[in-house]
Copies of this chain bind each other. A is one copy, B any other.
Amino acid sequence: MATKTELRRQELRDKLIVIAERTIAQNGLSALRARDLAKEAGCAVGAIYNVFGDLTDLTLAVNARTFHRLGADVAEALANAPEDPVEQLIVMAQAYHHFAAQNHQSWRALFDVERAPGEAAPDWYLQEMGRLFRYISDPLAVVFPNRPADELALLTRALFSSVHGIVLLGLDEASAGVSTENIDRMIALVLRQFAANPK
């Protein structure tokens, strides 16, 4: 069917994503403006809405890429990690931290995008989240071989959330004294202490 039209449509879609990605990375989600976007893409403002439902949809497309890059970074860290499961957890958590620090604005956009209340998270989000959770639950199962499955699932989620919290508040107050090294130290302290006495 529509070859020429669909092609342009796809081209515009990609172009908008690239521009939005750069804008968010450089100046944050709040710097994403429809008129600027259209000017830079060389199209009319209305054209954006032929390709995306609204700017939130565009942001979600950017977030999908960001999340995927994040997952890849964590996977790479895991691939180069030592055998010891606790060290694997630490290496992955610090990879998460470093990604957040080096892609601060893009990483923030992952959570700052407003979802309609009650609406489920998009599929790619759940998928990528599942990937991250498996990276965590595998070493965790080695550390805690005698824990029931449901408890391991809770621990997995809890550990992810803990690391996320440490990174979130640490980077928030990055100007107020929590250095990168201290965030890494906090992560290692918590995870080592956490796994020090498995049952």
Give the most central of A121, A157, A170, A187: most B CB within 10 Å: A157
Question: Using Cβ atoms and an 8 Å threshold, which residues of chain B touch A199?
Answer: 196
Mask, A96-116, CB within 8 Å of B = 1, is 000000000000000000100
CB within 8 Å for A158 and B186 given contacts A166-B165, A193-B194 = yes
CB distance from A85 to the nearest CB of B (A): 15
For A175, give its contact among B118, B164, B182 (CB under 8 Å).
Answer: B118
CB distance from A167 to the nearest CB of B (A): 8
For A163, give its contact among B165, B182, B186 (CB under 8 Å).
Answer: B165
For A161, give its contact among B121, B151, B162, B175 (CB under 8 Å).
Answer: B162
A16 at the interface (CB under 8 A from B): no
Question: Using Cβ atoms and an 8 Å threshold, which residues of chain B touch A120?
Answer: 175-176
Question: Using Cβ atoms and an 8 Å threshold, which residues of chain B touch A162?
Answer: 161-163, 165-166, 190
A159 at the interface (CB under 8 A from B): yes
A146 at the interface (CB under 8 A from B): no
Pick 16 A–B contacts, CB within 8 A, sort by A.
A120-B175, A120-B176, A121-B176, A154-B182, A155-B189, A155-B190, A158-B166, A158-B187, A161-B169, A162-B162, A162-B165, A162-B166, A190-B194, A193-B197, A194-B194, A197-B197
A38 at the interface (CB under 8 A from B): no
For the complex of A and B, list the 4 residue pairs with the smallest distance between their C-beta atoms, beginning with the closest: A165-B165, A197-B197, A162-B162, A158-B186
